[in-house]
Structure 1
Amino acid sequence: MINWNGLLKSYRLWRRRLVYPVISLLVAVSLCLTTPVQTQAIELLPFLLRGVQVFQLSNLSPRQEFDLGTQMNDQLRQEVRISRNQQLTSYIQSIGRRLVENSSDRRDIPYTFQVVEDKSVNAFATTGGYVYINTGLIETAENEAELASVMGHEIGHIKGRHLVNQMRQSAIASGVATAAGLDRNKAVGIGVDLALNRPRSRKDEYDADNIGLRLLTDAGYAQSGIVSFMKKLEGRSSVPTFLSTHPGASDRVKSLERQIQLQPSNNNYGLDKAAYKARVRSMLY
């Protein structure tokens, strides 16, 4: 015989324990989403909306910056061809480690250095420590100091958070940013487009040049590497992305030469042209 009184009591108990808390949670969320304190809503959104992540580009934590860079890297792997040449990749990573390990700032993120199989002379960086170097640039460099100078420049963009700031400006200008922040997928798309297709500002380029020169010097490389490589590209008809903006390469060369005169170094590591060319040939061909 069914105990109807018992079933009714169980139903009422279940309703109190489950339904009421759910209602309370929904009310709390509603209040958070309508209150001026946006940070509360931002903290709750990733948990309440499955698959949705919102970034506040004006206040990214190192972990969020790395996560964003990782998601960009996933998309970039569909846009460019990442080299599977482990010997070449290890070589590029060793140069990158030397530059980063001798730096005193932005040690709060890991760095990932990858080679892109592309004959164009180019390099770029995203967020969270991701740096990409084209094979065409590796072949064009005369020595390791020149190659390291370009890598230092790209690390400089990461240290200055230049892409993050550019993404924020682009999101606001295009109207896709909300009060809560920027949706993950939109942020990734904007970041990849900016990294691949659009040059940095005048201020960002000078800043990355100065940081790159400091990294080059602190790592023991010859300071002349950054100047000689830039001079090599001045007369090219096809200008790499990292040189295709104002200020022009000649202006940047003059600025770097002034910086070197103010803080000269006797470092001469990385100038052996023959050793570098032999090493690159053995890895690329």
Structure 2
Amino acid sequence: MLHRKKNRWLYGCMAGITAISINLATPTVSQAGWLDNILRGVLIWGVQSYQISNLSDADEMDFGKQIHNEIIGSRQGQVQLYNNTKVVNYIEEIGERLAANSRRPGIDYRFFVVDDDSINAFATMGGYTYVNTGLIEAAANEAELASVIGHEIAHIEEKHSIGQMQAQARNQGLLAAAGLDSSQIVQLGVAIAFDYPHSRSDERDADDLGFELLTKAGYAPDAMASFMTTLMNESGGNGGSSFLSTHPGTAERIDTLQKNADDYVADSDYTKGSFHDIGLNEQHYRNKISPLQ
């Protein structure tokens, strides 16, 4: 009898969980008061599940930290952080200057230097931005480097990694009514950082918002177009730069960015040598990154 009662209890729980899953898949107006709380985290068989489209800033930062630990841990040998204090502090200063103008003040932005000669940068959810030593050396000045960091911050602001995560989870058949568990989110986050380039639409959005961050921080408005032009010319297209190969439509984007810069100069109080031209001193920049040379 006791055994049968336990079975009935277990079947009842399973039926209840199934009913909740069905209800989540087809929400009604009457559920609106409590549905958000359910979607943010459902405890099923001891595993926390999340609706990735509804993550709080705190959740996103927590997953960003877990993705970061995975990137520098299990992928050790592929991603090694560069830890020279002078260079790292300099990159952090630039990043914080740009992030001060972010539309997402609840995010704690973090900046890291990757010890890698390839010209590349990337960002993950939750405020984590990574810049290769190769890209730092390739930039002519601080403004050009800031343009790349601003572009990556923009991806975080627009939650592009989360959008990619939703798409990949759907393609891989991982999406369920309850959402994704934490381990799935972390593994998808790592894969997206390395294996899935942003769409042209995401890149255009990041260009526009990155340009806004760049100019609000006082950097020269043509720095983004200038750096992309240099990389494209040196590589003969997209082949010689990881940054360009994972950021599609380079020539078209350069034209748009240059137009943005020209319009900004025409429509603002911009004058050469003013506040808007910080970061153009090449010798100052080379001194700041001297340990790399």
TM surpasses 0.5 = yes
Gaps of 5+ in 2: 25-34
State the structure with more CA Rg.
Answer: 1
Q: Secondary structure at the match of 2:107?
A: coil
**Aligned residue number for residue 221 of structure 2:** 223
Q: Which residue of 2 aligns with 1:280?
A: 289
Cα shift at 1:121 = 0.4
Secondary structure in structure 2 of the residue aligned to 1:252: helix
2:39 corresponds to 1:31: no
Percent identical among aligned pairs is: 41
TM-score (norm: length of structure 2): 0.81
Structure 2 SS opposite 1:222: coil
Paired residues of 2:57 and 2:126 also in contact (CA < 8 A): yes
Contact 1:199 1:242 in 2 (8 A): no
SS of 1:139's equivalent? Answer: helix
Which residue in the other structure is 2:256 paired with? 255
Change (3 A) 1:49 1:94: farther
Contact 1:230/1:253 (<8 A) preserved: yes
2:189 aligns with one of 184, 188, 191: 191
Q: CA deviation at 1:30?
A: 4.9
The corresponding residue for 1:182 is 180
* Alignment deviations for residues 8-28 of structure 1 (CA, whole Å, 9 cap, x no partner): xxxxxxxxxxx99xx6x9956
Query: Is the Cα contact below 8 Å between 1:32 and 1:41 reproduced in 2?
Result: no
1:109 to 94, 104, 107: 107
The match for 1:270 is: 279
**d(CA) in 2 for partners of 1:65, 1:26:** 35
Code of the residue aligned with 1:180 in structure 2: it is: A
Are the equivalent residues in 1 in contact too, given 2:125–2:162 (CA < 8 A)?
Answer: yes
Deviation at 1:263, TM superposition (A): 2.1
Taking the aligned partners of 1:26 and 1:107, their CA distance within structure 2 comes to 46
Aligned in 2, Cα 1:240/1:193: closer, same or farther, shift over 3 Å? Answer: farther
Deviations 1:148-169 (A, max 9, x none): 0000000010011011001100
For this pair of structures, how many residues does the alignment match?
A: 261
SS of residue paired to 1:113: strand
TM-score by length of 1: 0.84
**What stretches of structure 1 move > 4 A for 4+ residues in a row?**
25-30, 39-44
- Ranges in structure 1 where 5+ consecutive residues have no aligned partner: 1-18
Contact 2:118–2:242, Cα closer than 8 Å, also in 1: no
